Amino acid sequence: MANPINVTLWHEYRHEKTHKEVSDLYPKGMHIALADGIRGNVDFAIRTATLDEPEHGLTDEVLASTDVLTWWGHMAHGDVRDDIAEKVAKRVWEGMGLIVLHSGHFSKPFKRLMGTDCSLRWREANDKERIWVVNPGHPIAQGLPDYFEIPQEEMYGEYFGIPQPDELVFVSWFTGGEVFRSGACWHRGMGKVFYFRPGHETYPTYHNPVVHQVLANSIRWAQPTKVSSFTRQVNKPTPPLEDLGTTQLTKDPSLHGQ
Ligand code: ZN
C-alpha cells in the first residue's frame, strides 16, 4: 500500500509475565492478539511497542512516524516516564490519533489530554457486557450491528470522570444494570482521541472479531488529517481584501452619540 496508516500498538505487557491466567489467554501478549486481529487491513502498517523496551518503545523517531497510537496499561501506569507521556500528548496536539483501551483510562497520556480524574466504578465478576451503538452514522460504528455482546467482562460503570465527549459512539450495559459511556471521541489540538472500554486482561476480549473491527474503524477515524500549511510565525500582516473606507465614517448620529 502506497500510503499506509502507521499504527503503533503500545502495551504495558506486564500481566502476561506475572499472571498465568493472562498468559494462558494471550501467550504472545494482548498487543499481539490485537495486531493479529487487525492485520488483514491492508491499509495499516502495524508495529508494537511495550513498557519495558528502552524509552517504552516510543522513541522520538517512533512517535514522529506514528499516525495512530493505541494504549493499554493497568498495573504499571506509574512506571511510564512523565516526559514520554508528555511527548505522546504533544504528538496528539500535532495530529496523531490516540486510541485508549480499557484500563488505559488511568494512563498518564489520557489523563493529561482529558484534564479530569478519569475515575469510574468497577466490578470483576464475570459480567456480560452489551454494547449499544448510539451513533450509527459515526465512522467508528461502520458495519456494526445495533448492539454486540461480550460474554464475560469486567464491569465499568458511571460516573466516568471524563470531559463531555465530542461524540459518543457506544454505551455499555452490564449484568448489574450499570451503564457506561464505552466508546467516546474527543478532538485535542489537531489530533483525535477515542476511548474504547472492553479489554480486561483475564477475559478473551481481544480475540473477539467485533472488537477487532471497532479497533480498525477507530484507527481509520483517528488517522491524522493532512495539514498542508501550519505557520506559527507570521512576519508580515496579510494585506486586507479591500479598503474598508474607515476614513469616511462620520460621527455616530444616534442617541448613543449624545
Ligand atoms: Zn480491567
3-class DSSP assignment, residue 88: helix
Cα–Cα distance measured from residue 60 to residue 176, given in angstroms and rounded to the nearest whole number: 44
pLDDT tens-digit series, residues 17-51: 999 999 999 999 999 999 999 999 999 999 999 99
Q: How close is the Cα of 163 to the center of ligand 1, in Å?
A: 21
pLDDT at 256: 65
Q: How close is the Cα of 11 to the center of ligand 1, in Å?
A: 14
pLDDT-derived band of residue 257, with 50, 70 and 90 as boundaries? Answer: low
Q: Which of 97-106, 114-123, 173-182, 227-236 shows the lowest per-residue confidence on average (mean pLDDT)?
A: 227-236
Is 246 buried (19+), middle (13-18) or exposed (0-12) by CB count in 10 A?
Answer: exposed
Count of helix runs (H) and strand runs (E) in the chain: 7, 9
Q: What strands, in cross-sheet order, belong to the sheet with 191-196?
A: 44-50, 5-11, 68-72, 97-101, 191-196, 179-188, 167-174, 121-133, 147-157
Q: How many CB atoms lie within 10 A of CB 150?
A: 21
Cα–Cα distance measured from residue 156 to residue 25, given in angstroms and rounded to the nearest whole number: 21
Look up the CATH superfamily of 5-118+184-228: Class I glutamine amidotransferase (GATase) domain (3.40.50.880)
pTM exceeds cut of 0.85: yes
Q: How many CB atoms lie within 10 A of CB 220?
A: 16
Q: How close is the Cα of 154 to the center of ligand 1, in Å?
A: 6
pLDDT-derived band of residue 252, with 50, 70 and 90 as boundaries? Answer: low
Q: Which of 1-5, 74-78, 125-129 shows the lowest per-residue confidence on average (mean pLDDT)?
A: 1-5
Q: How close is the Cα of 133 to the center of ligand 1, in Å?
A: 22
Q: How close is the Cα of 113 to the center of ligand 1, in Å?
A: 21
Cα–Cα distance measured from residue 57 to residue 12, given in angstroms and rounded to the nearest whole number: 11
Is residue 183 within 8 A of residue 221, CB to CB? The reply is no
Q: Please report, for the chain, the start and end positions of each structural domain, with discontinuous segments joined by +.
A: 5-118+184-228
Q: How close is the Cα of 199 to the center of ligand 1, in Å?
A: 7
Q: How close is the Cα of 100 to the center of ligand 1, in Å?
A: 13
Q: How close is the Cα of 72 to the center of ligand 1, in Å?
A: 10
**Average pLDDT of the segment spanning 75-83:** 98
pLDDT-derived band of residue 237, with 50, 70 and 90 as boundaries? Answer: confident
Q: How close is the Cα of 69 to the center of ligand 1, in Å?
A: 20
Q: How close is the Cα of 243 to the center of ligand 1, in Å?
A: 63
Q: How close is the Cα of 65 to the center of ligand 1, in Å?
A: 30
Q: How close is the Cα of 2 to the center of ligand 1, in Å?
A: 37
pLDDT tens-digit series, residues 105-164: 999 999 999 999 999 999 999 999 999 999 999 999 999 999 999 999 999 999 999 999
Residue-wise over 105-130: b if at least 16 C-beta within 10 A, else e? bbbbbbbbbbeeebebeeeeeebebe
Task: Give the type of residue at 135.
Answer: N
3-class DSSP assignment, residue 135: coil
Q: How close is the Cα of 75 to the center of ligand 1, in Å?
A: 10
Q: How close is the Cα of 13 to the center of ligand 1, in Å?
A: 14
Q: How close is the Cα of 23 to the center of ligand 1, in Å?
A: 15
pLDDT tens-digit series, residues 189-223: 999 999 999 999 999 999 999 999 999 999 999 99
